[in-house]
A = this chain, B = another copy of it.
Amino acid sequence: MTVRHEQITVASTKREETIEITPRVKAAVTRAKVRDGVVAVSVAHTTAAVFVNENADPDVQRDLLTTLARLVPDAGDYRHAEGNGPAHIKSVLVGGDITVAIRDGGLALGRWQGVYFAEFDGPRTRSATVTIIGERAG
């Protein structure tokens, strides 16, 4: 069994956007030389999130951000003084970490699944920790 961490840096260019990081998570898994285990991705921020969803039609990502903005609108009953109260709440609703199985050295993602970093208070330079735990190839 082995443990390996990698830090990923994500540069967002808008106030809100989702950025696919699947290739970077895959590359970290390959570098770890782990054949079977899990990979956890966790964001180091309180106005960002990470999730797995469709990476074929970009409209899915657009619909997600639009719906979150409707559920947690910019204007509302927020006391947090920095003005990014809604971003904190979206971060909690979407969640700050994911876990994906590693099988035969690859990510056990479905055909349409990609790993996404969600920016809710950009543009900023962000970071996430990718941790791989598992058994190395024999």
Measured CB to CB, the residues of A under 8 A from B are 1-3, 5, 36-38, 40, 42-46, 51-54, 57, 59-60, 62-64, 66-67, 70-72, 76-82, 85, 88-89, 91-101, 103, 108-113, 127, 129, 131, 133-135
The reply to whether B94 and A80 contact each other, CB–CB distance below 8 Å, is no
Cα–Cα, bound, A133→B129 (Å): 16
Cα–Cα, bound, A95→B98 (Å): 9
**A5-B108, A53-B46, A96-B52 known; A89 vs B62 contact (CB < 8 Å):** no
New A-B pairs, 13, CB < 8 Å, besides A60-B85, A93-B94 = A38-B133, A42-B101, A44-B109, A45-B113, A46-B60, A52-B96, A53-B88, A63-B79, A63-B89, A67-B78, A96-B113, A97-B99, A101-B131
**A54-B88, A72-B67, A80-B57 known; A46 vs B110 contact (CB < 8 Å):** yes
Say how far A96's CB is from chain B's closest CB, in angstroms: 5
